[in-house]
Structure 1
Amino acid sequence: MAPRLPLPPIPPLAVPREVRRAVRLTLLTALTTLFGYGLFLFFGFLRDLFRRLLLDRAEPDELMGYAPICPAFEDFYTRRIYRRIQDCFGRPIASAPDAWIDVVERSSNDNNKTLHRTSNKSRCLNLGSYNYLGFAAGDEFCTPHVLHSLKKYAPSSCSARADGGTTQLHIELEDLIARFVGKPAAITFAMGYVTNSFIIPTLIGEGGLIISDSFNHNSIVSGSRASGATVQVFQHNSPSHLEAVLREQVVKGQPGTGHKPWRKIMVIVEGVYSMEGEFCKLPEIVAICKKYKAYIYLDEAHSIGAVGKSGRGVCELLGVDPADVDIMMGTFTKSFGSCGGYIAASEEIIQYLKYACPAHIYATSMSPPAVQQVISAIKVVLGEDRSNRGAKKLAKIRENSNFFRSELKKMGFVVLGDNDSPVMAIMLYNLAKLPAFSRACLRQNVAVVITAYPATPVLLARARICISASHSKEDLITGLKVIGEVGGLVGAKCLPAEPEKAKKLD
């Protein structure tokens, strides 16, 4: 959940039919969820009214003549809803994000308005980090190479790539990424979010059309808005609706120009949707984009390194030729245990980005040790460390993910996400269930991530589970026992369970 981002208006009750079907959203669930939000809003507005009438009759002198610095509803939502459960978010940890982590305990003396870190720590099972292949903790191959690069290159280049921030490591990484994903060339950036939000405006602008999946990440939304291009949205993971939108826009052309053709059309999708754990229907989308001469921009932040037989992402998993995807984007923050992002494309596009993208020209380049971490991790995945540990990690994450997902479903949870995806969402729906679920899991030393509006639609609050290759079978069984118990206490099991399976877990 991102409470500091500008909050969009609360959407209407209507939820797309295919989404309702996938999440088992019934009318009773929708009404009780909205009723809960209504209570929060009503009493929140009532308390603000009495505060203005009784305590804040006069405007403070320091605000005289100034407009509020925060939007009114965002300020209200943060104070009256988010802060009530803020102890469930942003929990600091005091260890590497491995299978088990040390969570720093916090206390509050003012009804959760202010949190204070204590000196106490809880050793918790980590079901929230993106450490898909287990590289975020120490690794027998990666760590020595990273330490050597730290001594040779120092922690930072202190410069942008276009100035003096390009080392031999950056060049090696870009060549390796291009070879890994099957594209002619690649370019790297120091931050994954920036990769989307700066590349999209560099590639398309006024007179262009962006057609974006309705569940795309905020970085894609930010980049699309900043581009100046016209933005259209198609229903989540619906190739048929994508084709309908494309056909309509090709016929209409640019608005107010007498049907002048679009300068370019770009379709943007994600490989694995980070809040749902679903794979995009890439083969169908590629076929439609070829038919209408539209470019494809594929965000593989959560899929590169984590899915596919050799970790090469959804193209490998779904049998799509990388040559059919014009722009391949990914990050190093998930599977590879580092930071930054990349764009892989044709040599002409990459050369253009080096001269035109502000994130390359002005932003500080990736830290050399972080670059070395990615290089070493990819070499392990490819087996270039002279071992088969990479293949074992890929097999392990698929096995762990499918086992955990199937067991959750057998216990009666509504779970989103496709098989082989390391991301899965346990649907909780009701806002009041979120803190109850999170706090109860933490008391039993299981750390989970909960998320609700504005990061998800109002009616689709959930707990998001991220599985790692570093989890053992015993770790997963421990997590399943706790989640199963807590889910029963908060009423999160919406489907009939299989009692004989519970005996096996015991």
Structure 2
Amino acid sequence: MALNASPTSSIFKRKSAASPPPKTAASYLSALSAADARRLKAHAPTATPALSLSSSITSDSEDSVLHEKEAYASVAGLEMPLCPPTSEQVFTTVHSEFGHCAREEFRSVSEHTPGTVLKHVAREPPYYIVISTYISYLILICIGHIRDFLGKRFYPRAYRHLMPQDGYAPLNSDFDSFYTRRLKRRMDECFGQPVTGVAGRTIMLLDRYSPDYNATQIFTGTRTRALNISSYNYLGFGQATGGCADAVEESIRRYGVSSAGARLAGGASDLHGQAEALVARFVGQEDALISSMGFATNSAYIPALVNKGCLVISDELNHASIRFGVRLSGANVRMFPHNDMGALENLLREAISQGQPKTHRPWKKILLIVEGIYSMEGTFADLPRIMELKQKYKFYLWVDEAHSIGAVGPHGRGVADYFGIAPRDIDILMGTFTKSFGAAGGYVAGNKALIDRLRVRGYLGAYGESMAPPVLAQVVSSIASIMGVAPPPLTSGSGSTLRLVSTAPDLDAYTGPAPPALLPAWLPSLGAGAAGVTRVRRLAFNARYLHFALNKLGFITYGVPGSPIVPLLLFNPGKMIAFHRMMKAHATPIVVVVVSYPACSLMTTRVRLCVSGAHTKEDMDTVLRACDEIGDVLDLKHGLGKGERWGIDEVCARAVELAAMQTEA
């Protein structure tokens, strides 16, 4: 259960024989300038580069101008596929950023099957796991308080930041900082892993160690390329090469790197308008409003919709940005248990019948806020049942699709697409561009009257910085890659002139391709959307396969099949850093995100596996084999009885069968 970091970490096992990169700031800047000069001399811009997917070469891309290949040891399968492609297989992506996988059986359709149980029932661990976890926290808390008590008396200078100074109250409260100082810091290695390069299918870790129990971290000068199962790069658009990267590069030439102002103060451009029109078309709403930060989208626009005299009903597991926005609005808030539709209906009946507190006047408006996919649980909102309640009780609905837009649905259009619900039946659709689209920022979509009000009443319009043009280009190109672009057909008119035919078949359906009029004329050709749909289908297969496979191996997982977030329960605090280190020290290094309090309860410490369409079936096999080995060592397999479990070889061999399952067997 030891949580302190050891100076002799496993990272020293993979040191390269080559000389390490420069360690001082001066030498680093000098090497960087020299490398830039070499690149400019070698790649003089003689002509405009080709702006198409074909510009994505199959060789490895540079993660750093300092020749990273000399600073780390290569691991088989991470940079180049173990099985080389045949002459018929042509890949236009870099394998380390987006894995090469041409087999159609490793694809699934992301959609809800009517009649299947949506509600997740959490499995309980054995009693000895619960008791040992409580005892572990009790020991850590007792030792922490003893060390604080003795330290304040024998080492007062080390604790001066916690004690009053010259009549001033301490800025860092002793109670608030206790968990950080005495629990989190001892296992800080698994929370703040520094990286460099492209956060794609693989990622480059900066190796480090701590000689003083994580009070300081020392970089070794070496780097480790690891399989990335921790980023929100759900569709693999976080690439340094490809059509989206070409579009970003061209946008910098045309618009620069910043809009240099707020939307209502000279920071709006034609690219902003085109992006908003495309987002509205993509999510199936009348209009959309984009902002430069996803967290601020909730916290700034919720107060523009509700205020004193309004009621907000919120799922108990809603994101902190939603809670913050509701608190700023001044509206009354009531919470209901996560995805408990019976409790929600009872709450609605009580709220409508009783009205406002004290006066019992009717509420000005009632707004229900849920998330499409809950980031810590991997569960979907029960949208079909919510829509039934909406028709019955006439409340407004706000759906936060930060983790679901682009990641689920047959067309990648989010939870409405996943459940087959008309998106305009939902009043407000909110989402972010940070996850599936490999960009940054957020959006709010709804009817035009609503969006026009938010443009003026929302804080971000007047005070928030406008989204940068390169980020906008990434958003537009990635969405267009998923939607596909309808080619404008040409027909002969009178004489020798040609005229455009106004629409393509089924162009008015929101699941159809994007009209060329919504895209910038300089945007590179992104095809008919086949590549984007393939990413969605690859993500669906990987998510379903990993979810069912972990359950068959005996692990306790949260979430539902099809969610790109697969939480694997660890429970004991000592297992967090152990799991992180053992995954990183695996034959194929794997970087994972460990989640603990306050993001989840103390008892449900977990590792959150984030699946991507950039991963291949072999990558999922690698993760499963590593989890299987580590699960035996750390005693993590408490989900199924001994007779119901599958072996790891059987799981990998029956991957297609697992991904096709509808419910837990």
TM-score by length of 1: 0.93
- Seen in structure 2, the aligned counterparts of structure 1 residues 29 and 227 have a Cα distance that, compared at 3 Å, is farther
Please point out which of 489, 500, 503 is paired with 2:633: 489
- Alpha carbons 1:212, 1:234 under 8 Å: kept: yes
Please point out which of 364, 367, 370 is paired with 1:263: 364
Equivalent residue number for residue 15 of structure 1: none
- Seen in structure 2, the aligned counterparts of structure 1 residues 19 and 141 have a Cα distance that, compared at 3 Å, is closer
- Alpha carbons 1:452, 1:460 under 8 Å: kept: yes
Please point out which of 542, 545, 564 is paired with 1:400: 542
Write the distance in 1 (CA, Å) between the matches of 2:585 and 2:387.
47
How far does the alpha carbon of each residue in 1:116-148 deviate from its partner, in whole angstroms, 9 at most, with x for none? 333211111100001011000134221111100
SS in 1 for 2:248: helix
Equivalent residue number for residue 352 of structure 2: 250
Please point out which of 559, 562, 585 is paired with 1:420: 562
Query: Does residue 458 of structure 1 match 2:609?
Result: no
- Alpha carbons 1:133, 1:335 under 8 Å: kept: yes
The one-letter amino acid paired with 2:440 is C
Q: Once the 2 structures are TM-superposed, how far is the Cα of residue 195 of structure 1 from its aligned partner? A: 0.5
Q: Once the 2 structures are TM-superposed, how far is the Cα of residue 499 of structure 1 from its aligned partner? A: 6.1
Query: Does residue 479 of structure 1 match 2:581?
Result: no
Please tell me whether Structure 1 or Structure 2 has the larger radius of gyration of its CA atoms.
2
- Alpha carbons 2:549, 2:624 under 8 Å: kept: yes
SS in 2 for 1:415: coil
Q: Once the 2 structures are TM-superposed, how far is the Cα of residue 31 of structure 1 from its aligned partner? A: 2.8
Please point out which of 299, 322, 346 is paired with 1:197: 299
Query: Does residue 154 of structure 1 match 2:256?
Result: yes
Equivalent residue number for residue 314 of structure 1: 415
Equivalent residue number for residue 296 of structure 1: 397
- Alpha carbons 1:266, 1:297 under 8 Å: kept: yes
Q: Once the 2 structures are TM-superposed, how far is the Cα of residue 55 of structure 1 from its aligned partner? A: 3.1
Query: Does residue 441 of structure 1 match 2:583?
Result: yes
- Alpha carbons 2:412, 2:482 under 8 Å: kept: yes
Write the distance in 2 (CA, Å) between the matches of 1:169 and 1:114.
44
Equivalent residue number for residue 378 of structure 2: 277
Query: Does residue 119 of structure 1 match 2:221?
Result: yes
Equivalent residue number for residue 10 of structure 1: none
Query: Does residue 173 of structure 1 match 2:275?
Result: yes
- Seen in structure 2, the aligned counterparts of structure 1 residues 77 and 264 have a Cα distance that, compared at 3 Å, is same
- Seen in structure 2, the aligned counterparts of structure 1 residues 118 and 201 have a Cα distance that, compared at 3 Å, is farther
Q: Once the 2 structures are TM-superposed, how far is the Cα of residue 21 of structure 1 from its aligned partner? A: 4.5
Query: Does residue 410 of structure 1 match 2:552?
Result: yes
The one-letter amino acid paired with 1:87 is E
Query: Does residue 43 of structure 1 match 2:184?
Result: no
Write the distance in 1 (CA, Å) between the matches of 2:251 and 2:552.
47
- Seen in structure 2, the aligned counterparts of structure 1 residues 124 and 210 have a Cα distance that, compared at 3 Å, is same
Equivalent residue number for residue 140 of structure 1: 242
Please point out which of 64, 69, 80 is paired with 2:166: 64
Write the distance in 2 (CA, Å) between the matches of 1:394 and 1:20.
23
The one-letter amino acid paired with 2:136 is G
Write the distance in 2 (CA, Å) between the matches of 1:501 and 1:47.
46
Please point out which of 210, 221, 231 is paired with 1:129: 231
Query: Does residue 54 of structure 1 match 2:196?
Result: no
Write the distance in 1 (CA, Å) between the matches of 2:280 and 2:355.
35
Alignment of 1:9-88 (within 5 A): 21-56=121-156, 63-88=165-190
Q: Once the 2 structures are TM-superposed, how far is the Cα of residue 26 of structure 1 from its aligned partner? A: 4.7
Please point out which of 299, 313, 333 is paired with 1:211: 313
Equivalent residue number for residue 480 of structure 2: 379
- Alpha carbons 1:23, 1:427 under 8 Å: kept: no
Equivalent residue number for residue 204 of structure 2: 102
Write the distance in 2 (CA, Å) between the matches of 1:20 and 1:47.
41
Equivalent residue number for residue 649 of structure 2: 503
* Stretch of structure 1 that moved more, 183-192 or 243-252: 243-252
Q: Which runs of 5+ in 2 are unaligned?
A: 1-117, 486-525, 654-665
* Stretch of structure 1 that moved more, 70-79 or 492-501: 492-501
- Seen in structure 2, the aligned counterparts of structure 1 residues 27 and 293 have a Cα distance that, compared at 3 Å, is farther
Q: Once the 2 structures are TM-superposed, how far is the Cα of residue 70 of structure 1 from its aligned partner? A: 2.3
Write the distance in 1 (CA, Å) between the matches of 2:543 and 2:160.
55
Q: Once the 2 structures are TM-superposed, how far is the Cα of residue 66 of structure 1 from its aligned partner? A: 1.0
Write the distance in 1 (CA, Å) between the matches of 2:160 and 2:275.
56
Equivalent residue number for residue 470 of structure 1: 614
How far does the alpha carbon of each residue in 1:56-80 deviate from its partner, in whole angstroms, 9 at most, with x for none? 3997898121112123322111100
Equivalent residue number for residue 47 of structure 2: none
- Seen in structure 2, the aligned counterparts of structure 1 residues 289 and 236 have a Cα distance that, compared at 3 Å, is same
- Alpha carbons 2:120, 2:560 under 8 Å: kept: no
- Alpha carbons 2:230, 2:593 under 8 Å: kept: yes
Q: Once the 2 structures are TM-superposed, how far is the Cα of residue 24 of structure 1 from its aligned partner? A: 2.0
* Stretch of structure 1 that moved more, 56-65 or 403-412: 56-65
Q: Once the 2 structures are TM-superposed, how far is the Cα of residue 176 of structure 1 from its aligned partner? A: 0.5
- Alpha carbons 2:119, 2:382 under 8 Å: kept: no
- The number of aligned residues is 488
CA RMSD of aligned residues (A): 1.9
How far does the alpha carbon of each residue in 1:389-411 deviate from its partner, in whole angstroms, 9 at most, with x for none? 01111111111111111211111
- Seen in structure 2, the aligned counterparts of structure 1 residues 64 and 43 have a Cα distance that, compared at 3 Å, is same
SS in 1 for 2:410: coil
The one-letter amino acid paired with 1:373 is Q
* Stretch of structure 1 that moved more, 385-394 or 311-320: 385-394
- Alpha carbons 2:120, 2:558 under 8 Å: kept: no
Write the distance in 2 (CA, Å) between the matches of 1:419 and 1:34.
30
SS in 1 for 2:335: strand
Spell out structure 1 runs of 4+ moving beyond 4 A. 18-21, 57-62, 497-500
TM-score by length of 2: 0.71
SS in 2 for 1:487: helix
SS in 2 for 1:297: strand
